[in-house]
Structure 1
Amino acid sequence: MELKIDRRVKKTKLSLKNAYIDLIEQYLEHEITVSMIAQYADLNRATFYAHYSNKEEFLEEALCDLLEGLRRAILSPFEDNDRINVNSLAPTTVQIFEYIEKNKRIFYALYNSHSDFKKRLEELFYHIFLNDIFVEVQSTIGKINYEMFLHYQSKAALGLIYFWIQDKFQYSAKFMMEQLTICSNTQVIDLKKI
């Protein structure tokens, strides 16, 4: 019986999340109410409030679920390997962009509605590359501060991801993977005044 209830809860929460995703594509975030979400999901407000105390709690759960899925995707290539070469297309890069592409509607919705979306995504990237994955680095011009390097790399990768989301996923995940790999392995030679 408990399994049946869990399925019903999951189905209800998924219906609410899908309704919110559809609504955010039509309305500004502040225009969307709990009543609208419930109605669009073909549920009543009481059902919404049986699972969440308010819209913020609903959005927080959606963000936590999304970020946990992304974390698992990023770490999945390390289940069978303890070292990955990044001079070619890294499996972690593949996982990041494939996961985002698969979940692009909720990424777009939360990017546009959750006030802490960027902050939490940045924290996730930084945490993973500080605690779960060590990035071996080499510089020919000096010793690099590892913590600064992580911030630099995370912000650069996330900048590309934010561009992709803002552009409403105009490019394929494959193209974005290639571009991140190229950008990460490109050396700046000179700056010229235009």
Structure 2
Amino acid sequence: MELKIDRRVKKTKLSLKRAYLELIEQYSEQEITVSMIAQYADLNRATFYAHYSNKEEFLEEALCELLEGLREAVLSPFEDNNRINVNTLAPTTVQIFEYIEYNKRIFYALYNSHSDFEKRLEELFYYIFSKDILIEMKSTMGKINYDMFLHYQSKATLGLIFYWIQGNFQYPAKFMMDQLTIFSNTQVINLKKI
């Protein structure tokens, strides 16, 4: 019996999330109400409130699920290897962009509706590369402060991801992967006044 209830709960929550994704493509976040979400999901408001106390809790659950899925995707190449060469297209880069492209509707929706979306994505990247994955590096210029490097690298990668989301995914994931790889392996030679 419990399995049936779990399936029904999952199905209901999925219907609510799908409804929200359709609504965010038509309305601003401020215009979307719990009633609209429930109505679009062909449910009543009481069903929504049986699972969430408010719209913010609903969005928070969606964000947590999305971020956990991204974390799992980034770590998946390490299931069989404990070291990955990043001079070519890194499997972690592939996983990041493929996961985002596959879930682009929810990424776009949360980017536009969850007030802490950018901050939480940044925290996730920092956590992954400080607790789960160690970036091995060398520099001919001097000693690298790892913490500062993580912030620099995370901001650069996220800047590219946010650019992609803001442009409503105008480029395919493969192009974005290639660009990140090129950027990461590009050496700036000079600055020239225009």
5+ long unaligned stretches in structure 1: none
Write the deviation string for residues 149-184 of structure 1: whole angstroms up to 9, x where unpaired. Answer: 000000000000000000000100111000000001
Is residue 38 from structure 1 mapped to residue 41 from structure 2 by the alignment? no
RMSD: 0.4
> Aligned letter for 1:184?
S
> Aligned letter for 1:165?
I
Identity %: 85
Alignment of 1:55-94 (within 5 A): 55-94=55-94
Q: CA deviation at 1:193?
A: 0.4
How high is the TM-score relative to the length of structure 1?
A: 0.99
Is residue 14 from structure 1 mapped to residue 14 from structure 2 by the alignment? yes
> Aligned letter for 1:72?
E
> Aligned letter for 1:38?
A
Aligned partner of 1:24 in structure 2 is 24
Q: What is the SS of the residue equivalent to 2:129?
A: helix
Superposition misfits of 4+ residues, deviation over 2 angstroms: none
Q: What is the SS of the residue equivalent to 1:189?
A: coil
Q: CA deviation at 1:137?
A: 1.0
Is residue 105 from structure 1 mapped to residue 97 from structure 2 by the alignment? no
Write the deviation string for residues 109-140 of structure 1: whole angstroms up to 9, x where unpaired. Answer: 00000000000000000000000000001111
Aligned partner of 2:152 in structure 1 is 152
5+ long unaligned stretches in structure 2: none
Q: Distance in 2 between matches of 1:12 and 1:102?
A: 21
> Aligned letter for 1:120?
R
Q: Distance in 2 between matches of 1:104 and 1:8?
A: 25
Aligned partner of 1:53 in structure 2 is 53
Corresponding residue pairs, total: 194
Q: Distance in 1 between matches of 2:14 and 2:107?
A: 15
